[in-house]
Structure 1
Amino acid sequence: MNNRIKKIENNVQDKNSAAWKKLCDYIDRVAEDGSEEFSPANELGYELFSQIYTLPETISKLKKVKKVSLYGSKLKRIPPEIGQMESLENFVPYTSYSLHWFPYEITECKNLKDSTVSTRALYGNYKNRMSFPDLSQNPVRYSGETVNCSVCRKKMTYDETNQLWISLWVGTDVLPLLANICSEHCKNALPKPPENYIQKAHKGSSTLPQPPDENESFELQIKEYEREQNTINNP
């Protein structure tokens, strides 16, 4: 099992840079025009886009956008406001190898049916079971002093939130999601993860047991086959 663990970085973005200001202007224009596609690399050019490590919270204004294209980005995180992109159908962060996780709020995009994600870069993915960082030691901080509960939307301070990882289907992929939870009631309201993933919300840790990865599963199948053959040949 692959126990590589990556520290979660906070304050990743220089918000005084020309790249950030141009991205914010682009979001305002897409929102005003009612465009159906958001493709910041095409607008900024890859030199500037490579300086973007998170998206602005103002993506919440992109109510008409159906496709988000983040191909080849250097993004390290996406803010919870993506959940307010109510028309989103197609999410393409493919080859964004620094995106190891996503906000739970992306599950609020009820029209999101198609996704293209570099799954080997994801925490907990079945191909290599990359470890989940321990949130009790390395909590995530978005901008601002407060955060909303991912379930009931209650506003709370970071000291009040219980941050948890959970793996769920989003589009055509199982994604590792970060949930900010305000109470045991909201924790219990989280969906059950799909089979072959950790079956509960959790805090993470390099020592957290995970199901076998792709190679380990194949080895277990071979061993089971060999046992069956041995039983047939030696009744």
Structure 2
Amino acid sequence: MANYHGCKCFEAEYSGKWVSRVKLHLEQQDMKCDGWKRLLELVEVAAQDGREEFVPEQEMKQNEWQQIITLPSSIAKLKSVKHLNLYGSNLVRIPPEIGEMTNLEKFTPYTSYRLHWFPYEITRCKKLKDSTVSIRALYGNYKFRFSFPQLPVGVGVEAGSPTKCSVCNAPISDSNLYQVWISLPVATDVLPLLVNACSQTCINQLPPPSENYVQKPHRGGANIQQPSRDYPF
């Protein structure tokens, strides 16, 4: 199996050793590096000039782009962006603020091989109709059915605890954190989504999972029964 930018999350499962304990990438973004500082600048410029396409790689040095493992929460300001292009990134997570990009129509994180899941908040992007995602790198993808990490883990934007409910947007803390995975259609792909909810009531309000995926919100782990994979090992 290819070494996805240093990611070895699925090597055991790919080799047929279905005893793997898949874990989320919990690396924290270096906020002092040149890449992060440059990305913050680019987000502010894009928010001010009202551009419809945001392709940060094109305006960063390659070594700076590879320093980026998440996006800043300030992407919420990108109200005019219709196409978010993250091709070939080193990202391991997308912040929930992507749900505030209200005009997003096209999402391209293709060949971002360390990006195994997405925040449930992306479902708030009601205009999002087109996506290009590296399916084989996703938890639970129909080709290989890789395991979902066991929840709860308390992961948020910066590998810390989430602060708002993914469903109702109410304040959330470690004492009222309910985490589940759910696979839902987003644009042209079915994505594994992490839900950080404030109550079981919010979990109960989630839509039905996509057909041919685990048919209920779940907490992951090696024992979760998934449909058969398309590519037998």
**TM-score, length-scaled by structure 1:** 0.87
Q: Aligned match of 1:202 in 196, 200, 218? A: 218
Displacement of 1:195 after TM fit? 1.1
SS of the counterpart of 1:203? coil
The one-letter code sitting in structure 1 at the alignment partner of 2:187 is G
Q: Aligned match of 1:14 in 27, 30, 35? A: 30
SS of the counterpart of 2:181? strand
Q: In 2, distance between residues paired with 1:145 and 1:114?
A: 30
- Gap runs ≥5 in structure 1: 217-235
Normalized per residue, which structure has more helix? 1
Displacement of 1:5 after TM fit? 4.6
Q: In 1, distance between residues paired with 2:163 and 2:84?
A: 24
Residue 139 (structure 1) aligns with: 154
SS of the counterpart of 2:47? helix
Is the 8 Å Cα contact of residues 36 and 67 (structure 1) preserved in structure 2? yes
SS of the counterpart of 2:191? strand
Residue 222 (structure 1) aligns with: none
The one-letter code sitting in structure 1 at the alignment partner of 2:71 is L
Change (3 A) 1:32 1:188: same
> Aligned pair 1:165/2:181, yes or no?
yes
Is the 8 Å Cα contact of residues 5 and 130 (structure 1) preserved in structure 2? no
Residue 121 (structure 2) aligns with: 105
Deviation sequence 1:178-229 (CA, Å, 0-9, x none): 001111211111010111100011110012111100035xxxxxxxxxxxxx
Shifted more, 151-160 versus 113-122: the winner is 151-160
Is the 8 Å Cα contact of residues 134 and 205 (structure 1) preserved in structure 2? yes
SS of the counterpart of 1:27? helix
The one-letter code sitting in structure 2 at the alignment partner of 1:183 is S
- Gap runs ≥5 in structure 2: 1-12
Deviation sequence 1:74-100 (CA, Å, 0-9, x none): 000000000000000000000000000
The one-letter code sitting in structure 1 at the alignment partner of 2:23 is K
Q: In 1, distance between residues paired with 2:208 and 2:109?
A: 25
Q: Aligned match of 1:126 in 142, 148, 151? A: 142
Displacement of 1:45 after TM fit? 2.6
The one-letter code sitting in structure 2 at the alignment partner of 1:122 is L
Aligned residues: 216
Residue 26 (structure 1) aligns with: 42
Q: In 1, distance between residues paired with 2:229 and 2:215?
A: 15
Change (3 A) 1:180 1:145: closer
Q: CA RMSD in A?
A: 1.7
Residue 151 (structure 1) aligns with: 167
Residue 115 (structure 1) aligns with: 131
Q: In 1, distance between residues paired with 2:218 and 2:162?
A: 22
Residue 181 (structure 1) aligns with: 197
Matches within 5 A, 1:42-121: 42-121=58-137
The one-letter code sitting in structure 1 at the alignment partner of 2:215 is Q
* Percent sequence identity over aligned pairs: 53
Is the 8 Å Cα contact of residues 10 and 141 (structure 1) preserved in structure 2? no
The one-letter code sitting in structure 2 at the alignment partner of 1:28 is E
Q: In 1, distance between residues paired with 2:173 and 2:93?
A: 20
The one-letter code sitting in structure 2 at the alignment partner of 1:72 is G
Displacement of 1:102 after TM fit? 0.2
SS of the counterpart of 2:175? coil
Residue 5 (structure 2) aligns with: none
Displacement of 1:147 after TM fit? 1.4
Higher Rg of the two aligned structures: 1
SS of the counterpart of 1:155? coil
SS of the counterpart of 1:176? strand
SS of the counterpart of 2:176? coil
Residue 8 (structure 2) aligns with: none
Q: In 1, distance between residues paired with 2:65 and 2:24?
A: 21
